[in-house]
Structure 1
Amino acid sequence: MTNDKTMSIDFTVAIPTYNSANRLTKLLDKLRQQTDLDQITWEIIVVDNNSTDNTAQVVQEYQENWLADVPLTYILEPEQGAAYARLRAVKEAQGELIGFLDDDNLPNPDWIVQAHTFAKNHPQAGALSGQIHGEFEVEPPENFQRIQAFLAIREHGSTPHQFEPQNLRLPTAAALVVRRKAWQESVPQRPHLKGRLAGSMLGGEDYEPLLYMHKAGWEIWYHPDLHTYHQIPHWRLERDYLLSISRGCGLATCQLRMVNAKPWQKPLIIIRNLLGSLRRVVLQFLKYRGQFKTNLIAACEMEFFWGSLISSFLVVKRSSLT
């Protein structure tokens, strides 16, 4: 089934995916079970970001026996990077609201109706996110909650509130709902941060669009009744992966602070980020000296602080090349 361009759509579920055909089937099954949608028209767009597995075939098989009144569309996005997959999803989406779900996120049955109702009641919300719980193949390490945000696990309590973009306190793009109008009016077509590509764990692509929306005056909200579950396989809890993703999150810090900065502010931001990160590195070293080989969580925090420190130099290097 393909999109009927004349059909009025309230909500688009956009699924960026890469070589995850097995996970995609679980997500599509969950979406088939969404409830209380009698008054909401919706569609699903699967954006295949150059998969080499049978993703296209899986979507085709689901299209043959899909919900009659819910368009299910397959799109190939050849430009590699999660940021480009999301940009393509926004370009193709027909819904007033776009709910991004990574292929390893499983939403509650009321995910769409919860997001739609909250956005309707908060017309200045350019984006909103909820609780993302971890479902682990193996038991996570002790004190894992200190670094769980690096794996897009977010649990911010039971009270709705606005995020703080000015402090880089923002939701992840996993299970993020955006207002299409806010994205189209605010987010440029060529992002600085493209997503984690081969050979690089540089993050930050989740936050960049939200910072543009914030600059344009849109609010970014947390809705505690919006629940999804992030599937965490055993290899994502291995030491090398956790250290790598922790550093990758840190490496984007200074560049993200530059997104909405005025030219005269940029040197000050670089210096402040450099000194603040250096302070955190020193304090972490003094607190956990001699423990970094045995205390994985402390080691991951140190990698994040080092990444944030290095991010200042990456911004300076990039500026010198442009």
Structure 2
Amino acid sequence: MDITVAIPTYKGSHRLPALFTALQHQTGTQGIQWEILVVDNNSPDHTAAVIQHWQQQWANQGFTPPLRYCREDRQGAAFARQRAMGEAQGDWVAFVDDDNVPALDWLGAIAAFRHQSPRLGAFSGRIKGAYAAPPPEGFDQIKGFLAIRDHGSQPCRFRAENLQLPPAACVVVRRSAWLAAVPPTPRLSGKVPGRFIQGDDYEPLLHLHKAGWEIWYTPSLCTHHHITADRFDRAYLLTLAQGCGLATYQLRSIITPPAQQPIMVVRTILGNVRRLVIHGLTYRQRIGQELVPGFLWAFYWGSVCSPFVRRDRPKNAL
């Protein structure tokens, strides 16, 4: 099997049909052996029934790639991705979130780019925003935090050592590299009720980088990320910013030698305290009034606190 399209989903019953339709109409798939695997991350809605309906519909229409389903009861996107790697049959696993819709040439672009380098461990592409409501003023400056990315018109390597990495919303990973390099139990599980710490999508890529695998960007790969109006809520965005900051030290510690980690703690705290002071003096009352100054303040504050965040240990983790 060449490619497994892996879809981690939580309460995705109303989002999955658009994604399934886009996958059903992929072009340039001749000669590609592929499958679709949906990992239901303990959804309490009708997600399983929706998938069963599509499985039956595809069987009736003679759609060739199999649509497979499994359920992961450990809450958190990181556990769903680990389950996908265990269940996948493809040499490459193309992750796509249930609120992302790939371009119709997406699968063909994956098949072409996977031969870019013998050390290619993962790659991603353009992720464009599809907005249900007009974004707030200044949103372009922070849209990368919502997995909307465009790194230009030429392929390039991500600088993983600087935490420049693609989001899991649309990332393609060499399965054998993941299984050899990524620990089975993640430090960061992803958003769960009462715990909004980000970084779960970067964690496995840092392990790949540490093991010597290359991570690339290619503009030939394109998806559209559907952003609902509630994600423009100021309170949500500030929580997101702080959650991204809280993952800073956990992520950097993956690629920091043990002997240097005490220094990394000091650098993380002092460096971001300095950012806070400069930011506060620059923007003052605008931090509480405008989106971007408030967002960056929350991110820097989360980064200051990140060395003190305990490692995720969900009750139902194996």
Please confirm whether the aligned pair reaches a TM-score higher than 0.5, indicating the same fold: yes
- What amino acid is the match of 1:296? L
1:306 aligns with 2:298: no
Give 3-state SS (helix, strand or coil) of 2:275's partner: helix
Percent identity over the alignment?
49
- What amino acid is the match of 1:17? T
Structure 1, unaligned stretches of length 5 or more? Answer: 1-8
Q: Which residue of 2 aligns with 1:34?
A: 26
RMSD: 1.3
Give 3-state SS (helix, strand or coil) of 2:244's partner: helix
CA distance in 2 between partners of 1:169 and 1:106 (Å): 23
1:82-231 to structure 2, matched below 5 A, reads 82-231=77-226
Deviation (angstroms), 1:65: 1.9
1:235 aligns with 2:230: yes
Q: Which residue of 2 aligns with 1:60?
A: 52
- What amino acid is the match of 1:151? L
1:278 aligns with 2:273: yes
TM-score by length of 2: 0.95
Preserved CA contact (<8 Å) 1:254 1:315 = no
Deviations 1:119-165 (A, max 9, x none): 12323110000011111111111221211111111111111110011
Deviation (angstroms), 1:315: 6.1
CA distance in 2 between partners of 1:158 and 1:246 (Å): 28
- What amino acid is the match of 2:285? G
CA distance in 2 between partners of 1:314 and 1:55 (Å): 33
Give 3-state SS (helix, strand or coil) of 1:292's partner: helix
Deviation (angstroms), 1:68: 3.2
CA distance in 2 between partners of 1:61 and 1:315 (Å): 41
Match of 1:252 among 247, 250, 253: 247
Deviations 1:51-105 (A, max 9, x none): 1111111111111121532010010111111000000001000111110000000
Preserved CA contact (<8 Å) 1:255 1:315 = no
CA distance in 1 between partners of 2:32 and 2:107 (Å): 9
Preserved CA contact (<8 Å) 2:4 2:90 = yes
Q: Which residue of 1 aligns with 2:316?
A: none
Preserved CA contact (<8 Å) 2:138 2:291 = no
Match of 2:284 among 280, 286, 289: 289
